[in-house]
Amino acid sequence: MTIEHPHPQEDPSGERLVHSPCHCRRCGRVLQPGRGELYVISILAVADPYPPVYTESDLSLDVGSEIRRLIRRLGSTEADEARDEVYRREVFHLCVACYQRWIDRPAGSE
């Protein structure tokens, strides 16, 4: 039995669609999609999703002034900045050589 899967990179006329070249985020090399010479890196960073932990000193704060402080802070934060503090997604390309160096230490060289 043969199951035919339409190839996502082919258009209805059967011609292979050519994706535009992209660049390695690290070394800037031009990369041609579809030739196995790149990795797509997708990073999702989410601010601490765990329930808050309160200490004795947190509980002894004047709640009213703390709320006013937070409202002032939010009021002065642009919407994009506020969103970036909570959630950020990055998608980029790396060449094979840069990928192999990066994946061993994705968080840096510390």
User: Would you tell me which residues interact with Zn ion (CB under 5 A)?
Assistant: 24, 26-27, 29, 95, 98
Q: Cα torsion at 48, 54, 60, 62 (round to 10°)?
A: 30
Q: How far is the CB of 68 from Zn ion (least distance, A)?
A: 49
Nearer to Zn ion, 49 or 108 (CB): 108
Those residues with Cβ within 8 angstroms of residue 31's Cβ, 6 or more apart along the chain or in another chain: 21, 22, 23, 24, 37, 38, 93, 95
Nearer to Zn ion, 57 or 109 (CB): 109
Q: How far is the CB of 96 from Zn ion (least distance, A)?
A: 8
Number of CB atoms found within 10 A of residue 61's CB: 13
Nearer to Zn ion, 27 or 82 (CB): 27
Q: How far is the CB of 104 from Zn ion (least distance, A)?
A: 15
